[in-house]
Amino acid sequence: MTERQRYRAEDLHEFCCAVLQKLNVPREDAQEMGDCLVLADLRGVDSHGVIRLPVYALRIRKNVVNAGAMPRIIRTHAAAALMDGDNGLGAVVGPRAMEKAIELPTTAGIGFAGVRRTNHFGIASYYVQMALQQGFIGCAASNAPPHMAPFGGRARFLGTNPFSIGVPAKEEAPLLFDASTSVVARGKIIVAAQEGGRFRLAGQSIRKVTQRQTQRRRLPDQCCRSEAQKVRQSL
C-alpha cells in the first residue's frame, strides 16, 4: 500500500514541469500541463492529478503523443471553430481551444471550439474555469474509449465521456459541475490500484456467460481488485 505524503503545490508543479521538459515538451506547454494536473489535486480530484504524469510520460516516450505539438485552427465560422491538436497533450491543446471559444462571443454572442487529433485532457473543469474568469458560462466535454455497457447490455460500448459546466454568480462563488457519465470514473480505479485501497462499486461487473457458466454477482472488493489489475497491465 502506497503511503500518503503531502507536498507543496509549487513543488509538485515544478516537478511536473521538470519531467515534461526532460521529455522535450516546450517550457510553456509543460507549465500549462503542470497547472492542469496540480489544480486537479487541489480540487480533490486525485484521479486526474499528478498521478497521471507517469502515463503521459510513457505515451510521450513511446511516441504515442507528440511532445512538441503545434495546434492550429483549421476552420472557423461566426460562432464556431475547429482546431487540429497535432496529436499533442490534451492539457496543452485544450486551453488554446477554449481561448478561441472565448474570443467568438464578442461577435456572435456564443462560441464553440471543437478539437480533433488530441489526447486525454485532464479535468474538464480546468477549461470551464477559463470561461468563468472572463464572465462567461463555460462548458467542456470529451469523448472517451468504450468502457461502459448500455442499459441491459453486457459488452463495452459507451465512453465515460466527461462533462463540465460553470455558471458565474457575480459576488457569489460560481456554480461548477464536473463529472464523468459512469458510476465510477476509471481514474478512481487507478488511484485505488496505487494506494491498495478498496471502494464500493454501485453496480455489477460484466462477465461472459457460457453454457457451463452462469453470471454471478461479484463482491465489490473483488471487482475493484480485478479492475485494478487490468489498469496495471494497461500502463
Tens of pLDDT, residues 144-188: 989 888 888 888 899 989 999 999 998 999 999 999 888 777 777
The confidence score (pLDDT) of residue 2 equals 59
The confidence score (pLDDT) of residue 229 equals 55
pTM of the model: 0.80
Residues 191, 206: Cα–Cα separation, whole Å: 21
User: Which CATH number fits the domain 9-61, given the four candidates 3.40.440.10, 3.40.605.10, 1.10.1530.10, 3.40.50.1000?
Assistant: 1.10.1530.10
Residues 148, 212: Cα–Cα separation, whole Å: 25
User: 133-136 long-range contacts, Cβ below 8 Å, gap at least 24?
Assistant: 134/102, 135/168, 136/102, 136/105, 136/168
- Tell me the β-bridge partners of 166: 138, 176
User: Which CATH number fits the domain 72-179, given the four candidates 1.10.10.10, 3.30.1370.60, 3.40.640.10, 1.10.530.10?
Assistant: 3.30.1370.60
Task: Determine what percent of the chain is predicted with pLDDT higher than 70.
Answer: 80
Task: Determine what percent of the chain is predicted with pLDDT higher than 90.
Answer: 63
pLDDT at 216 over 90: no
pLDDT in tens, 111-136: 999 999 999 999 999 999 999 999 99
Out of 13, 77, 120, 147, the active site residue is: 120
The confidence score (pLDDT) of residue 138 equals 97
pLDDT in tens, 53-82: 999 999 999 999 999 999 999 999 999 999
pLDDT at 220 over 60: no
Q: Give the pairing of strands 112-118 and 80-88.
A: parallel
Up-side HSE of residue 234: CA atoms within 13 Å toward CB?
A: 13
Question: Could you tell me the pLDDT band of residue 1, with boundaries at 50, 70 and 90?
Answer: low
Helix (H) or strand (E) holding 83: strand 80-88
Please confirm, yes or no, whether 120 is among the known catalytic residues.
yes
Nearest to 228 by CA among 182, 200, 188, 181: 188
Q: Would you list the domain boundaries of the chain? A: 9-61, 72-179, 186-234
The confidence score (pLDDT) of residue 89 equals 98
Residues 121, 93: Cα–Cα separation, whole Å: 8
37 vs 153, 182, 221, 225, 232, CA distance in Å?
Answer: 34, 21, 28, 26, 20
